[in-house]
Amino acid sequence: MFSKISIYISLHAIVFLIIIGAIVTGGFVIAFIWAVKGGQYEDDYSPAVRILFDDDLPEKKDKENKEEKKDTEEEKPVNSIK
């Protein structure tokens, strides 16, 4: 059914793909080890808590904007007709 040449070529393709897969896997393992040694995963507490403290600055801006709106509302004439 299959000739010897087609089996020979398909076996070389499989070996080639296995070698390429091993090289890619090795690259990912090396990148992971490099990230761990570089301290990428050391701080596991602050990312979970960071969202709790994220709203401090916008609240201050909102208060300033409300104060500005109050100042502009006071300047409007009392007898205005809408």
pLDDT tens, the chain, 82 aa long:
567 777 777 888 999 999 999 999 999 999 999 999 998 888 777 777 777 776 655 555 566 666 666 656 555 555 656 5
Report the candidate in 78, 58, 54 with the shortest Cα–Cα distance to residue 66.
58
C-beta of residue 64 within 8 angstroms of C-beta of residue 70: no
